[in-house]
């Protein structure tokens, strides 16, 4: 193909541009049609590294405490998609198109070739089923890793503070390993509100990191004595630190109240969950009528819980993934009632047709929704 020369006259360049497509078609038609015997390996590699579902084998199960278990998953063949500290996976439950999903943080070492998830007993009916029935040797299907919270080596500071409540340490622990082992930060502080029960595996690994890294400090606090958290934060210089927060909504609210006293930029603080805050005045309970392809069911819901949380606790099959309203897995139709919702990532057409993302929606009245599964 001849080289295009740039003209000083704009209209000539436009004519040359429009005729370029015709010249390309002529050149392509002159080429002989060759059949390649060898398949394009890069396509096979892409499918292997980014599969829709991954079959994993349960290799080990460890009790974190009396209410939590960690399940270790390994892939027997081929490559395992890599993950970063803070990544999550969705667990597929059911067969063919009739399945539900629930999301869990990968709570292991991102430098190892394994996934592991920590499950809380009686969190939801789905979690409780995994907690009670999963055994070594079982096959579990999971999604490829995706992320909500992670350390960005370009945008984040070289000094970091982790504010964690209880079992949410399973989300933050892999990030701590990553930033310390890869030497991405100069200093790291973990402020962890925990109950009296041992977190056997994670506590052991954190102690190793403390001994190995002189620039890593852990402050363990009793989660019942919330005043200690504020006192500890007041002793830390937050001006040049990236802050990672993981816990339940009440912990977020308390941390936000404390951080208001400090002059922090909006990009300094990262949250594990990005759900909107329910109305302070709404502490009521309501009823939700759920319409699925199989049944119509009525369940009780609370204004302080997302619609997705209520569905999962009731054992209703629901597909979910991101938990921040971006992926659209849980998209459902609001038939009747009022809700408080974050529509940041909702498409205009979906808004007009009364679709909602249950993972970031709170009830403000009795409601009726229709699930697409």
Q: How confident is the model at residue 75 (pLDDT cuts 50, 70, 90)?
A: confident
What is the structure's pLDDT at 195?
75
Place of tokens 């047709």: 353
pLDDT-based confidence at 222, cuts 50/70/90?
Answer: confident
pLDDT mean over 306-324: 86
Q: 222 vs 4, which has greater pLDDT?
A: 222
Is the separation of the CB atoms in 149 and 270 below 8 Å? yes
Whether 50 shows a pLDDT value over 70: the answer reads yes
Contact between 93 and 182 under an 8 Å Cβ cutoff? The reply is: no
| Neighbour tally for 205: CB within 10 Å | 16
Mean pLDDT of 100-116: 86
Taking residues 55-66, report their average pLDDT.
Answer: 90
Q: How far is CA 353 from the centre of its chain?
A: 27
**Residue 261 burial class via C-beta count within 10 angstroms: exposed 0-12, middle 13-18, buried 19 and up:** exposed
Question: For residue 227, what are its two tokens?
Answer: 């005043």
What pLDDT is stored for residue 280 in this prediction?
A: 56
Q: Would you state the pLDDT for residue 129?
A: 82
Identify the band that residue 5 occupies on the pLDDT scale cut at 50, 70 and 90: low
Residue 105 CA to residue 175 CA, distance in Å, equals 11
Residue 35: pLDDT band by 50, 70, 90 thresholds?
low
* 143 vs 101: CA distance, rounded Å: 9
Locus of tokens 């070739």 = 113
Q: What's the chain's length in residues?
A: 373
Note the pLDDT of residue 278: 61
Q: What is the mean pLDDT of residues 351-357?
A: 91
Provide, rounded to the nearest whole percent, the portion of the chain with pLDDT above 90.
Answer: 31
Residue 71 pLDDT exceeds 90: yes
pLDDT at 328 over 80: yes
Of the listed ranges 33-42, 124-133, 312-321, 346-355, the one predicted with least confidence: 33-42
Q: Which two tokens stand for residue 66?
A: 């009396």
CB-side exposure of 129: number of CA atoms within 13 Å? 15
| Torsion angle, alpha carbons of 122, 128, 132, 136, to 10 | -130
CB burial class (10 A; 0-12, 13-18, 19+) of residue 234?
exposed
| Nearest by Cα to 152 from 179, 115, 187, 183 | 179
Instruction: Give the tens place of pLDDT for each residue, 186-215.
Output: 999 999 998 766 787 888 889 999 999 989
Distance CA 233, CA 161 (A): 10
Residues 6+ positions from 60 with CB-CB distance below 8 Å: 71, 72, 136
Residue 287 near residue 366, CB atoms below 8 Å: yes
Q: Which neighbouring-strand residues pair with 104? A: 89
Q: Kindly report, residue by residue over 134-145, the tens digit of the pLDDT.
A: 999 999 989 888
User: Over the chain, what is the mean pLDDT?
Assistant: 84
363: confidence class by pLDDT, cuts 50, 70, 90:
very high
Is the whole-model pTM more than 0.85?
no
Other beta carbons within 10 angstroms of residue 349's beta carbon come to: 8
pLDDT given for residue 10 in this prediction? 56
Domains (range + CATH), the chain: 47-147 (2.40.30.10), 159-271 (3.40.50.80), 285-370 (3.10.20.30)
Angular region, 230: left φ>0, alpha ψ -120 to 50, beta rest: alpha
Helix, coil or strand: residue 194: strand
pLDDT surpassing 90 at residue 234 = no
Q: Which candidate, 83, 60, 62, places its Cα nearest to that of 72?
A: 60
Is residue 87 within a helix (H) or strand (E), and if so which, with residue range? Answer: strand 87-95
Q: What is the pLDDT of residues 343-352, one digit of tens each?
A: 778 888 888 8
pLDDT score recorded for residue 276: 58
Q: pLDDT, tens digit, for every residue of 162-177?
A: 999 988 898 999 999 9
Residue pLDDT, tens place only, 238-263:
988 999 999 887 888 888 888 888 88
Is residue 78 pLDDT above 60, yes or no?
yes
> What is the reported pLDDT for 113?
76
Beta bridge partners of 302: 285
In degrees, to the nearest 5, what angle opens at C-alpha 261 toward C-alphas 255 and 265? 80
CA angle 100, 43, 79 (to 5 degrees): 60
């Amino acid at each position: 193909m001849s080289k295009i020369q740039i003209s000083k006259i704009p209209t000539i360049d436009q004519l040359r541009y429009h005729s370029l497509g015709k010249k390309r078609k002529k050149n392509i038609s002159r080429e002989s049609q060759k059949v390649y015997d060898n398949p394009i390996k890069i396509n096979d590699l892409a499918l292997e590294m980014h599969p829709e579902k991954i079959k994993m084998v349960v290799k080990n199960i460890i009790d974190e405490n009396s209410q939590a278990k960690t399940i270790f998953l390994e892939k027997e063949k081929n490559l395992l998609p890599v993950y970063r500290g803070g990544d999550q996976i969705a667990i597929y439950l059911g067969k063919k198109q009739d399945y539900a999903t629930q999301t869990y943080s990968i709570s292991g070492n991102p430098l190892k070739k394994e996934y592991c998830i920590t499950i809380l007993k009686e969190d939801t009916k789905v979690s409780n089923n995994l907690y009670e029935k999963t055994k070594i040797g079982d096959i579990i299907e999971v999604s490829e890793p995706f992320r909500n919270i992670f350390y960005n080596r370009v945008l984040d500071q070289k000094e970091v503070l982790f504010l964690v409540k209880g079992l949410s340490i399973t989300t933050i622990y892999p990030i701590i390993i990553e930033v310390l082992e890869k030497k991405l930060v100069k200093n790291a502080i973990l402020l962890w509100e925990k109950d009296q029960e041992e977190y056997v595996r994670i506590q052991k690994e954190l102690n190793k990191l403390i001994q190995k890294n002189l620039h890593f400090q852990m402050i363990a606090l009793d989660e019942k004595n919330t005043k200690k958290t504020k006192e500890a934060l007041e002793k830390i210089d937050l001006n040049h630190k990236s802050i990672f927060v993981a816990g339940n909504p009440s912990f977020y609210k308390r941390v936000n109240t404390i951080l208001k006293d400090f002059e922090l930029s909006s990009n300094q603080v990262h949250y594990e969950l990005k759900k909107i805050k329910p109305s302070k005045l709404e502490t009521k309970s309501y009823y939700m009528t759920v319409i699925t392809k199989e049944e119509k069911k009525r369940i009780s819901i609370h204004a302080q819980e997302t619609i997705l949380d209520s569905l999962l606790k009731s054992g209703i099959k629901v597909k979910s993934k991101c938990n921040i309203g971006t992926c659209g897995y849980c998209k459902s139709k609001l038939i009747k009632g009022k809700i408080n919702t974050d529509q940041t990532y909702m498409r205009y057409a979906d808004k007009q047709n009364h679709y909602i993302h249950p993972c970031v929606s709170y009830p403000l009245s009795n409601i009726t929704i229709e699930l697409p599964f």
